[in-house]
Amino acid sequence: MTAEINRLRALVNQSKRLVFFGGAGVSTASGIPDYRSMTGLNSRRYGGLSAEALLSHSCLMLEPERFFAFYREQLLHPEARPNAAHLWLRQLEEAGRLGGIITQNIDGLHRAAGSVRLYELHGSVRENTCMDCGASFRLDWMAAQTGLPRCPDCGGVVRPDICLYGEAPNPYVMRGARRVIAEADTLIVAGTSLRVEPAASLLEGFAGRNLIIINREPIPAEEKASLVIHGDVAETLAALGPPDPLPEWISAKTRS
């Protein structure tokens, strides 16, 4: 593993515009379960229904009580804190080397860590909106509700600002994610099986030098990778140490 870490450190420090594309495996070290592993949310059924069925637009509309009971029990983790992966990426941004973070996660931990150049493809549990009047509510408010979460102003149902199964991702977020991938010289894909569309197809726009895969299990994209590390994302990134800052003259040229 030492040789792989050294190689990864060299590729990171050679990059001028690195983009990070992450999935559920980025947040497992924060105590948030993934979806598709042997013990993930999709590995079992809940009252006869799958997690995908319960987290669908149809369930929200037709069986909202069931939707919110499952949502609060399984998807809300207000105690979760950013782990070493989130903090390392913030350091990468501070070093001037980060083109953007694209995440499929809805936990909001990248933003909590202080990252700014962030594309949350599926939204965030930390933001909620009344379906009638548009009022906004935070994670702690939603976590404290029981039954249907209703707006205290108009009585409308308050839904999480996440992309449910059967809904399309925010087109502006997707457009931004495509742009930063197209501009990247290095792309790290970490903690994701790349099985969910349209997010998985974003990799087709990468034309940079180095594709790096960090994941516990093998994935098909490894065939095109410059470096593959089979391991925990947080442990791997923590082992790198702080990234070297981008030289000021290169940083200014990159921003222009």
Give Cα 227 distance to the centre of its chain. 21
| Per-residue pLDDT of the chain in tens (256 residues, 90 and over written 9) | 689 999 999 999 999 999 999 999 999 999 998 765 545 676 577 778 898 999 999 999 999 999 999 999 999 999 999 999 999 999 999 999 999 999 999 999 999 999 999 999 999 999 999 999 999 999 999 999 999 999 999 999 999 999 999 999 999 999 999 999 999 999 999 999 888 788 888 999 999 999 999 999 998 889 899 999 999 999 999 999 988 888 764 554 454 4
Tell how strand 186-190 and strand 18-22 pair up: parallel
User: Quick one: fold of 41-78+129-162?
Assistant: SIR2/SIRT2 'Small Domain' (3.30.1600)
CB under 8 Å to 88, separation ≥6 — which residues? 237, 238, 240, 242, 243
Asked if residue 161 lies in contact with residue 123, where contact means CB atoms within 8 angstroms, the answer is: yes
CA distances from 39 to 28, 45, 146, 165 (A): 12, 12, 27, 20
Asked if residue 21 lies in contact with residue 98, where contact means CB atoms within 8 angstroms, the answer is: no
Q: Determine which one of 57, 86, 122, 230 is catalytic.
A: 122
Among this protein's residues, is 122 annotated catalytic?
yes
Q: Where are the domains of the chain?
A: 2-32+79-122+166-255, 41-78+129-162
Q: Residue 178's pLDDT is what? A: 96
Q: Residue 200's pLDDT is what? A: 82
Residue 216, helix vs strand vs coil? coil
The tokens for 151 are 């707006």
User: Quick one: fold of 2-32+79-122+166-255?
Assistant: Rossmann fold (3.40.50)
Whole-model pTM? 0.91
